[in-house]
Amino acid sequence: MFVIAELALSSPTLVMTPTIEANPSARVCIQFQPAMDPERRRFFVLVEGGDFDAFDDALADDYTVAEPTVLAEQDGVRMYRLGLSEDVIAVTPTVTELGGMVLEMYSTGGLWLVKLQVPDRDALAAFREFCLDSGIEYQLERLYRTEPTRSDDHGLTDQQRRTLLTAAREGYFDVPRSISQAELAENLGVSDSAVSQRVRRAVAALIEGTLHTDEPPDSRA
């Protein structure tokens, strides 16, 4: 069984703290947490609500991030790609070292709400100690146990999940791409065709698992 912990974290050294404090009505959700590359220190966020002009102004002055880029915008939601500055504290690598993973991380009222999955209470205690040693205010909101599940993977196999996360981390989905399909295949140690098949099947599984429609197949554009 795993331990699931829901936490409220705050610190000037946490990523995007100046921006979320200046824009408490905006909801910022960090994406692709398992794919964050500690060396390239790049990540993605979805932002909804609030004033995007004010948000961008705060982001431009935010000392915790670098090179903010708007990747897409639709229906009042924006996706950004951001780099981490050198001095910012990233919690994901520490959680990974403890054998856990970040399930969710989103802002509310200028704070970060974080949902973690860790192997046991000892791992959670170690993460709490890391936060306190790093000057991060730590508040446990909820704690419970759960059986191992892959329901959050929306039907992806381990190979498909690893392929998508690696592709996102290395910039395969960027426009223009930061890595070719051949380079991605070499990174994963598989053939070009295997990468192509995994990506197509993974995207199909994500669509099936996350997008719901009552339209019959013949009526879809």
The 10s digit of each residue's pLDDT in 90-102 is 888 899 899 988 8
Of 51, 23, 41, the C-alpha closest to 82 is 41
The 10s digit of each residue's pLDDT in 33-85 is 444 444 557 888 999 987 999 999 999 999 999 999 998 888 889 999 998 88
pTM of the model: 0.62
Burial class (CB within 10 angstroms; exposed 0-12, middle 13-18, buried 19+) of 91 = buried
